[in-house]
A and B are shown apart, each in its own frame.
Chain A
Amino acid sequence: MKSSDDKKYWSPYLAGAASGLVLILSVLVTGKFFGTSTTFVRTTGMLEKIFSAERVAQMDYFVKEAPVVDWQWMFVLGIFIGSLIAAKTSGTFSWQAVPGMWQKSFGSSVSKRAVVAFIGGVIGMFGARLADGCPSGHGLSGSVQLAMSGFVSLICFFIGGALVARIIYGKEERS
């Protein structure tokens, strides 16, 4: 199990360092730094436009982050496609509705996981927009530029996350 896994996956150091090179190349060729959360704003704007285009056109935040497909929107779509390609070519693609760690503590109910994941998504995105970035925009691109906003946000991501992880799972170590 372990040895076959080793061939299918790369060391996180190697995959991470290669991602750093991809970021450098992106900055050199197009001047674009990684980020993902603004894309959710643009997509929400596109969806809301279907129902009330006039209202969306007047909302401050959709004026600031217009509901259009841009570099980052395609980047986010690319993450999905890239992951799919990597999983399919290495034979590691598998449908999974409930993560293993979650299942051990909270059972295999799909709806229970869905509700918590959805709420987590709502809270997470609200926070990311308030912070003006997520782990890619602040954590990766911000830190790479030695931006204070990146470091402060990244530290707060981990503080908030570690606190809630502790509340959810308690103090026990891995079993």
Chain B
Amino acid sequence: MNTLLYGLMTGILFGFLLQRGQVLRYDKQLGALRFFDMTIVKFMLSSVLVGMAGVYFLKDSGLATLAVKPTILGGNIIGGLIFGIGWALLGYCPGTSLGALGEGRWDGLWGILGMLAGAALFAEAYPVIKKTVLTWGNFGAITLPQVLGINHWLIIILFAIGGILLFRWFEKKGL
């Protein structure tokens, strides 16, 4: 029961911040995919930069464990590209479609219905997909520091520097 309550509270905080950050909009999502409004990239990269430092600090302190999803190139690449196609048509991702509905952008509802249908379709195809695409290029649960063989804090610092330079460039270009 507590787990469910924490889930709800965490979602409310996240939804609140997504709305205040103006991320829950078709125009902003397509603006990023058309490379002239980087609002969603600014939001996402900011949360990633803060999150990666905090999560790895918790991990190093023994306060949390990672839950790394396996890298299966067949699924990640083909599924990722297919997701992108749908994302550009809908203009919302699964989480933001719910949030968009919350602030009155009810075209998100068509997306939610479509996504439920898409989940049903995938469940039908899963037995075949499991034996084919999801066996192509399975590397298990690997992380970038493992692949490069360098310390994770070095990578986090490099990401932070790269992120800040990118943000400065966005602001200079008015993106």
Contact = CB atoms under 8 A, between A and B. Distances in A.
Interface of A: 9-34, 36-37, 39-41, 43-45, 47-48, 59-62, 64, 69-87, 90, 92-102, 113-166, 168-169, 173-174
28 contacts: A12-B22, A19-B14, A36-B98, A48-B120, A71-B7, A72-B7, A76-B11, A80-B98, A83-B15, A83-B100, A96-B107, A101-B30, A120-B88, A121-B117, A122-B114, A125-B117, A131-B83, A134-B94, A144-B55, A145-B143, A152-B80, A153-B80, A160-B84, A161-B88, A162-B34, A165-B88, A168-B88, A174-B31
A116 B86 CA distance: 9
Interface string B19-51: 111111111001101111101101111111111
B81 interface: yes
B165 interface: no
Contacts, number: 518
Contact of B95 (A14, A18, A73, A135): A135
A37 B48 CA distance: 19
B113 A159 contact: no
Given A15-B21, A21-B54, A30-B3, A127 B86 contact: yes
A149 B71 contact: yes
Interface residues of B, number: 126
A81 to B, nearest CB: 5
B14 A160 contact: no
A13 B86 contact: no
Nearest to B122: A129
Interface of B: 3-27, 30-31, 33-37, 39-40, 42-52, 54-56, 58, 63-73, 75-91, 93-108, 110-127, 129-130, 133-134, 139, 141-145, 147, 152, 155-156, 167
Report, nearest first, the 6 A-B pairs whose CB atoms are least far apart: A78-B11, A160-B84, A121-B114, A82-B15, A156-B80, A124-B86
Contact of B6 (A32, A43, A73): A32
Contact of B94 (A17, A22, A136, A162): A136
B174 to A, nearest CB: 11
B51 to A, nearest CB: 4
